[in-house]
Structure 1
Amino acid sequence: MRELTGKLRISRILEGKEVDRSGFWLGKPKPDALKNIKKYLEVRSLREAEVRLKSDIRWIMAGNFSFPPSTAMMFKNLRKRNVRRSTSDAMVKDINTLEDVERLNWIDREKYLFPFFERKLRTAEQDNMAVFSGGHCHIWHFLLDFFGLEECFMLMYENPELVKDVVNRATNCWLKFNNTLYKKYSGRIDAGFYFNDLGTQLDSMVSVDMFREFFLPYFKKFIDQAHSFGIKCCLHSCGSIDRYIPDLINAGVDILHPIQAKAKNMGAEHLKTTYGDSLVFMGGLDAQDILPFGSPDEVRTEVKRLRDIFGNNFILSPSHEAILSNIPPENLRAMAEEATKIY
């Protein structure tokens, strides 16, 4: 088989067709890490680094290029003294009833502008890369931040209708955001890249029943929306989420990212044996130990092992989308070179 472009390769992987090699995504370097990468590769930008390392995917974060900014898309006119931003404390205090939620003056916006998105999209097309985009759709993060982590978990038992009202409003905000984006750019976006960390190192955050009640019905709306535009759905969820995967497959998730290798029951052999080709796995290269602390040869060995296990139905990438500055550029190059070897 002739060597494919990144865009065609990812498209064929998602369609379950034969490819010349597994897919590869470099990930998203943090500023300090990007500085190290640019110096090591002698390039001027992340774009040049992605091309040099033969990354198949470009992630364009739509919220960064929208107006009004996506950080203000949920509600407005909050008094500053009532706003908190941490996972332990509530984002908004004194929310006890449905009326309290209603009074937050949620934004009901049908249109967004994306003034810089077109330029980013064109460069990805010039580089023949698949495009992952869409709103973050992080309804789980938003829910935990809104009430505060511990309080949110208690409210799921004590006042489930209140929790559902909030997650439904957040879902509708993101649906409107994506609707505007996908109407304008459908046919040019390959996958919606949606972020909801549902697991910890040792287990999922809530029971399967709670997951089905407070997350899955709402997230399925994003899946169905993307599919209606001919766009695949990629769910990013750090941690151990093995218990949720059957439901995610049944709901229509096409790609699961980042496959946190050190989390319980997220090893490559278990996932491939249990789920086969039911969805595309993306990630898997341990970013907690091997990438930051292993040698380039150890990185190459692990990449080869993962490709042998997953086969064609796989997009190799670090097991966390953010590349930190403690990962040596030599290891990133070793990862890329081994990941992009033609079969």
Structure 2
Amino acid sequence: MSQEDTMTPKERWLAILEREEVDRLPMDYWGTPEVSAKLIKHFGLSDKEQIEIVRDLGLSRFQKSNNNLAVPESKVLEREVFKQLNIDFVVRLENKYVGPEIPLGSDPYGCRYKTIEYADGSYIECSHNPLAEFNSVEEIENEYQWPDPDWWDYSTISDQVKGYEDYPIRAGGSEPFLFYKYLRGDEKAFLDLVLNPEIVHYILEKLFGLTKENTKRMYEQIPEKENKLLLTYVNEDLGSQKGLLYSPTHIQEFLLPGMKEMMDLAHENGAYVFHHDDGSIRKILPDLIKTGIDILNPVQWRLKDMDREGLKQDFGKQIIFHGGVDNQHTLPFGSVEDVQIEVEENIKILGEGGGYIIAPCHNIQPNTPIENILALYETGYKFGSQI
């Protein structure tokens, strides 16, 4: 903690969430493994080749599933980068998969994944949808085995908190329609909303049920929970660049009831609800607020109906904004000055009176110049106290 700081990251986040005075606005980080590796090398924290660091950081959930969840060296180094950039990072707690053996490249749901390479990095996408060929709830019931909460071990949760008492922690959460699309395939998933609503209700009930039980068990393992700043991510990508991907009626029927159960569970356990929701979602935002979100990410303000001034004016007293630094345009393609101007504007507009956490809109991409990343956090640190 530098001499300018008078609060820990946990205290800073909590002050923003409770709308109390803060020494400066908190700053958070979202970035791909390639970006984190570049930052580790930039700060001279590792002699390893960048590709080795990426591999260490980028272990996907199915590669981790039979692992011991020991924090890899590169993850420790990534957190050191955060400290050097004054980033108030969130420590993510994870349960350990101990269920039936699953093939490499698969997950406990039976989905299989492939790696997609692009210019400067890679990502994974689902290549096999295990429920794609089923035509009824009865067929799924008879032929598919749902994962069981007992397939995960929660006993390592308490150890993961040690040493990070001054940081916000993240535990549990849900994003069921994402997994619905993995299970059924994207096209069939959207058609199901109209043609097979009984299948949608059935699968989402199963997915919400599993994530709810997993979240409960994680909460139970957090030591001295009342002294922690706990975040639970209840996510769903409801928007496109121009509007909603789903009708409000479908969102209200299929998703909001389960999301409310998750949010109620979080609030009952003293957690704040972090809601990640890509796209232009203003039309459904009042419903999401009524359902119980506390923090809205990512604030893609260049999209239709998502202007910062309007969001702050209409919803700024009800929710905290997280994000706002454009990772599609400004960060990868703008100048250092462009980044500085955008961060300052976000602080002025979204941070007026508090209620804002400085962060990129989504994962910073590998084609982003290091200078722009440094500008984001240096500017945020410099001007985040001027609120």
Instruction: Give the structure-1-normalised TM-score.
Output: 0.88
Question: Which residue, out of 83, 96, 105, partners 1:66?
Answer: 96
**CA apart distance, 1:39:** 2.0
Residue identity opposite 1:209 in structure 2: T
Residue identity opposite 1:255 in structure 2: I
**CA apart distance, 1:149:** 2.0
Counterpart residue number, 1:54: 86
2-structure distance, mates of 1:271, 1:49: 32
Alignment of 1:111-130 (within 5 A): 112-114=152-154, 117-125=157-165, 128-130=166-168
Question: Which residue, out of 171, 174, 198, partners 1:161?
Answer: 198
Counterpart residue number, 1:196: 236
Alignment of 1:317-328 (within 5 A): 317-320=359-362, 322-328=363-369
Question: Taking CA–CA contacts closer than 8 Å with sequence separation of 6 or more, which of the two structures ends up with the larger relative contact order?
Answer: 1
Aligned residues: 331
Partner-residue secondary structure (3-state), 1:107 = coil
Aligned CA-pair RMSD: 2.7
Deviations 1:72-100 (A, max 9, x none): 79966x699xxxx9679744232211212
Structure 1 window deviating more from structure 2 (187-196 vs 199-208): it is 187-196
Percent identity over the alignment is 28
Residue identity opposite 1:52 in structure 2: Q
Counterpart residue number, 2:72: none
2-structure distance, mates of 1:301, 1:260: 16
**Structure 1 79/39 Cα, relative in aligned 2: closer, same or farther at 3 Å?**
closer
Counterpart residue number, 1:38: 40
Partner-residue secondary structure (3-state), 2:90 = strand
Question: Is 1:242 paired with 2:289?
Answer: no
Consecutive unaligned residues in structure 1, runs of 5 or more: none
**CA apart distance, 1:160:** 1.0
1-structure distance, mates of 2:251, 2:128: 22
Question: Is 1:133 paired with 2:171?
Answer: yes
Instruction: Give the structure-2-normalised TM-score.
Output: 0.78
**Structure 1 112/6 Cα, relative in aligned 2: closer, same or farther at 3 Å?**
same
Question: Which residue, out of 129, 133, 148, partners 1:94?
Answer: 133
Contact 2:40 2:78 in 1 (8 A): yes
Consecutive unaligned residues in structure 2, runs of 5 or more: 47-76, 113-123
Question: Is 1:178 paired with 2:181?
Answer: no
Structure 1 window deviating more from structure 2 (197-206 vs 183-192): it is 183-192
Partner-residue secondary structure (3-state), 2:164 = helix
Alignment of 1:242-261 (within 5 A): 242-261=282-301
**CA apart distance, 1:31:** 2.4
Structure 1 window deviating more from structure 2 (174-183 vs 191-200): it is 191-200
**CA apart distance, 1:41:** 2.4
**Structure 1 183/46 Cα, relative in aligned 2: closer, same or farther at 3 Å?**
same
Contact 2:154 2:217 in 1 (8 A): no
Deviations 1:126-160 (A, max 9, x none): xx22223324x110101222222222222212221
Deviations 1:232-276 (A, max 9, x none): 110111111111110111011001111223322222112112212
**Structure 1 123/296 Cα, relative in aligned 2: closer, same or farther at 3 Å?**
farther
Partner-residue secondary structure (3-state), 1:123 = coil
2-structure distance, mates of 1:291, 1:70: 43
